Amino acid sequence: MPPKRQHKADAKAAAHPHAKPRPLTRIQREKQDLILEAALDVFSMHGFRGSTIDQIAEVAGMSKPNLLYYFPRKEEIHRRLMSALLDTWLAPLKEMDATGDPFPEIRSYIRRKLEMARDFPRESRLFANEMLQGAPRIIEMLEVDLRNLVDEKAQILLGWMDQGKLAHTDPYHLIFSIWATTQHYADFDVQVRAVLGKDRGGEGRFEDAARYLEQLFLFGLTPRSTAPRKS
């Protein structure tokens, strides 16, 4: 078994483990953003292993060595995208406020998530891709940060249920169902468009989805003493 070749960047980091990164110039930041933008395009469609630096460089409109001048390794580009993503991803749920009333809070949470699916579909797909692969690069953040956040919000939901303001149900699966239904419009966009066709599949589909989901969750989660009908 031949020894793995050591990368230049690795050697550098090993020599100066605490070297301070000097601040970037405007040009550098712009180029990096250009690359990250292109990488988001490619990674979100093909996943990490399915994407090539060549593709990213082409989308970014530069040569491969030039791209590697700004990001020494493919992994580094992906890492940067992922860490930026997680913050944005948790933000909408963080806003759910215990002092508010459940239906306005849940309603606007759904709206925010649906807007993210509409305005940042690539980010959604990047996240989905990572999930499908078993989340190797973010599993720890899921088990700590995400879990703690969801635990906290589940407590809020339980509180509303105890106050009789919300139907008694499983708060974790409630949150899952909001994630699933909203992200679906980004992750399965091709399928949604194919089913709705050209006429009904335009931008109006997000409005239709918002109306439908609002109704589903409003009626579905309204507290009641007796079941409205036997199945």
Partner DNA sequence: GTCTATATATTGATAGAC
Partner DNA sequence: GTCTATCAATATATAGAC
Between 48 and 71, CB nearer to its own copies: 48
Of the candidates 26, 57, 30, 27, the residue with the CA atom closest to the CA atom of residue 41:
57
Among 34, 45, 90, 158, binds its own copies (CB under 8 A): 45
Contact in structure between 153 and 93 (CB atoms under 8 Å): yes
Q: How many CB atoms lie within 10 A of CB 50?
A: 11
- Residue 183 CB-density burial (10 A; 0-12 exposed, 13-18 middle, 19+ buried): buried
Applying CB under 8 A, what is the total number of residues that bind its own copies? 69
Binding characters for its own copies, 114-153, by CB under 8 A (x = yes): -----------x--xx-xxxxx---x--xx--xx--x---
* Angstrom distance (rounded) from CA 78 to CA 83: 9
Number of residues that this document lists for the chain: 231
Q: Residue 64 binds what, of DNA, its own copies, none (CB under 5 to 8 Å, by partner type)?
A: DNA
Q: Residue 75 binds what, of its own copies, DNA, none (CB under 5 to 8 Å, by partner type)?
A: DNA
Among 13, 24, 98, 195, binds its own copies (CB under 8 A): 195
The reply on whether position 109 binds its own copies by CB under 8 A is no
What are the tokens at 31? 């180029």
CA dihedral angle for residue 18, residue 30, residue 47, residue 7, rounded to 10 degrees: -40
Which stretches of the chain bind its own copies, using CB under 8 A? 44-51, 103-104, 107, 125, 128-129, 131-135, 139, 142-143, 146-147, 150, 167, 169-170, 172-174, 176-177, 179-181, 183-185, 187-192, 194-197, 200, 208-209, 211-222, 224, 227-229, 231
